[in-house]
Amino acid sequence: MNGRYREAAEFPLLESSHSVSVRPAAVVILAAGEGTRMKSATPKVLHEVGGRSLVGHVLAAVDQLNPHHLVVVVGHGRDLVSAHVHQTHPQAVPVVQEQQNGTGHAVRVGLAGLAASGVQLPSGPVVVLAGDTPLLTGSSLVELVELHSSQRAAASVLTAILDDPTGYGRIIRGGDNDRVTRIVEHKDASDDERVVREINSGVYAFEQDALTSGLSRLTTNNAQGEEYLTDVLGHLVSDGDLVVAHVADDPDEILGVNDRVQLAQAGALLRDRINNAWMRQGVTIIDPTTTWIEVDVQLDRDVCIERNTALVGSTVVESGAVIGPDTTVDSCVIMSGAHVFKSHLVEARIGPDAAVGPFTFMRPGTELAAHAKVGAYVETKNAVIGEGTKVPHLSYVGDASIGAGTNIGAATITVNYDGVHKHRTVVGDHVRIGSDSMLVAPVTIGDGAYTAAGSVITDDVPPGAMAVGRARQRNIEGWVERKRPNTASAEAAKAAESPHTGSADQPGGAQSTPKEHE
């Protein structure tokens, strides 16, 4: 079925796909820092928003630049970070920075590592950015590189205007043209400089020789005792080289994640960005603040998503389907016109116009054919459920295949586990499984067969047979009055035996007939 769906690359929800006219020679992603403020055993750049790691978002944006070479500078959690990057970007060269001596040092180490791996850079700029800015878009990177080459700048920096620039490096401008003269880190800035609201995003494009010469002149003579990459820009301006700034349209793009508060902020901003994009594509989202759609999800027009719903993993939803409220759908295919209501689904396929929920738990390998229905308090796993078949209430269907037009009575269980092995249940077409049946697998129920309610079915049932697997009922008359004398039950039984007299304690008792109690 996958072939029916668009490849993610052909359907850029968040990334415009106009390509850059100048391919960067290399992109260097800085990701060696510890991320101390996350207070986490997981390296910072591997934390996720929108179903993708922080560095994964940066890599997706960098893809728009189509660089010749890609370097990821790693340090803390280097093995995990390198392995993670390798999964999606096997061409990336991880370079270890043993000691985090600053962003300038990191770039020098990264370029040296690339050279040591035998790479000779072709012509083109070198782009540097950090691995913890998940909202940065490929378009902003493309715009920065385009500006850099059209201006023939030695260095270009992506900046943003923030209401609260605290903590960021400030862009200091001067001269007649109000050109960038240098960047000063917050900790090194004077009171006058701290008033500046234009900040350094930490994203740059450099001419190769300008970068190399600037890096060679860095010192640790500053408030943090680090080699600042930002100082390269000041050195270039002193040399008379041109440094330009591109102000990002959306200041949210530069949000760097340093702690879990910022992680949640970035997650919420990304959620809004994704939801807005889908709404513009023709998806109805009833309550965007409680709707969480991960980046790899694909939706058709006229999908409707009700409140408090998460669509995660590789989920695909076709036109006319309604999902939610209060639903999580993880890596499922929901086909056209299906309705999934207050449920939790993982790796399931829901056929056209099928209905699921409320309170259904679908585990991997569940496949519902068209017009099938799985209802309240039903759990399914590894189960193929045929066209128009219903499993409406309180059942477990695991390791089973069920034909078309079949009805599974309430509280039916496929008894699939003998304590050691799992076994399959096969149910044919147009079968009627009575309520509270135990189908003890391996077992096969033939087409058109019935099972009596409350049966324990241990043997195969031939097509068209009625299977009865339960003790016959017997009634022991008068048992309650003999064995439980003087109880309310015994009194009630006695009253039922004698002709009715009516009583204030039994409202309506005299008039009521059994029918009215049904």
Which residues lie near ligand UD1 (CB under 6 A)? Answer: 30-33, 73, 97, 100-103, 105-106, 130-132, 168-169, 183, 185, 199-202, 228-230, 256
- Max Cα distance, the chain (Å): 114
Which of Ca ion, ligand UD1, none is residue 469 near (CB under 5 to 8 Å by kind)?
none
Which of ligand UD1, Ca ion, none is residue 137 near (CB under 5 to 8 Å by kind)?
none
Supply the DSSP string of 394-461, one letter for each residue.
S-EEEEEEE-SS-EE-TT-EEE-B-SS-B--EEE-TT-EEPTT-EEESSEEE-TT-EE-TT-EE-S-B
Is 134 a residue that touches Ca ion (CB under 5 A)?
Answer: no
Nearer to ligand UD1, 117 or 506 (CB): 117
Q: Are 43 and 36 in contact (CB under 8 A)?
A: no
Nearer to ligand UD1, 225 or 507 (CB): 225
Which of Ca ion, ligand UD1, none is residue 30 near (CB under 5 to 8 Å by kind)?
ligand UD1
| Strand bridging mode 344-346 / 327-330 | parallel
Nearer to ligand UD1, 257 or 346 (CB): 257
We find the least distance from the C-beta atom of residue 191 to ligand UD1, in angstroms, to be 18
Q: Are 285 and 298 in contact (CB under 8 A)?
A: no
Which of Ca ion, ligand UD1, none is residue 455 near (CB under 5 to 8 Å by kind)?
none
Residue 115: what are its φ and ψ, rounded to 5°? -60, -40
We find the least distance from the C-beta atom of residue 102 to Ca ion, in angstroms, to be 12
**Taking Cα atoms as reference points, which of 189, 192, 231, 186 lies closest to residue 211?**
231
The set of residues, in sequence order, having a beta carbon less than 8 Å from that of 47 and lying 6+ positions away, is 38, 40, 53, 54, 257, 263
**Taking Cα atoms as reference points, which of 365, 447, 466, 463 lies closest to residue 406?**
447
We find the least distance from the C-beta atom of residue 228 to ligand UD1, in angstroms, to be 4
SS3 assignment, position 323: strand
Query: Which structure tokens are listed for 346?
Result: 């993982």
Is 131 a residue that touches Ca ion (CB under 5 A)?
Answer: no
Residue 363: what are its φ and ψ, rounded to 5°? -100, 170
Which of Ca ion, ligand UD1, none is residue 97 near (CB under 5 to 8 Å by kind)?
ligand UD1
We find the least distance from the C-beta atom of residue 244 to ligand UD1, in angstroms, to be 16
We find the least distance from the C-beta atom of residue 142 to ligand UD1, in angstroms, to be 20
User: Residues with catalytic annotation?
Assistant: 393
Residue environment code for 92-127, b if the CB has 16+ CB neighbours within 10 A, otherwise e: bbbbebeebbbbbbbbbbbbebbeeeebeeeebbbb
Q: Which residue is nearest to ligand UD1 (CB)?
A: 169
Q: Are 207 and 123 in contact (CB under 8 A)?
A: no
Nearer to ligand UD1, 144 or 183 (CB): 183
> Which H or E run includes 114?
helix 103-116
Which of ligand UD1, Ca ion, none is residue 450 near (CB under 5 to 8 Å by kind)?
none
Supply the DSSP string of 175-227, one letter for each residue.
TTTTEEEEEE-GGG--HHHHT--EEEEEEEEE-HHHHHHHHHT----STT-S-
Q: Is 89 left (phi over 0), alpha (psi -120 to 50) or beta?
A: beta
Residue 94: what are its φ and ψ, rounded to 5°? -80, 130
Q: In what order do the strands lie in the sheet with 466-467?
A: 284-285, 304-305, 322-323, 339-340, 355-356, 373-376, 390-393, 407-408, 432-433, 450-451, 466-467
With CB under 5 A as the contact rule, the residue among 110, 256, 434, 446 that binds Ca ion is: 256
d(CA 446, CA 453): 17
d(CA 88, CA 13): 19
We find the least distance from the C-beta atom of residue 196 to ligand UD1, in angstroms, to be 12
We find the least distance from the C-beta atom of residue 322 to ligand UD1, in angstroms, to be 41
SS3 assignment, position 146: helix
Nearer to Ca ion, 203 or 439 (CB): 203
Nearer to ligand UD1, 156 or 407 (CB): 156
Nearer to Ca ion, 189 or 332 (CB): 189
We find the least distance from the C-beta atom of residue 5 to Ca ion, in angstroms, to be 37
Which of ligand UD1, Ca ion, none is residue 322 near (CB under 5 to 8 Å by kind)?
none
Nearer to ligand UD1, 229 or 293 (CB): 229
Residue 155: what are its φ and ψ, rounded to 5°? -150, 150
We find the least distance from the C-beta atom of residue 401 to Ca ion, in angstroms, to be 54
Enumerate binding residues for Ca ion (CB under 5 A). 256
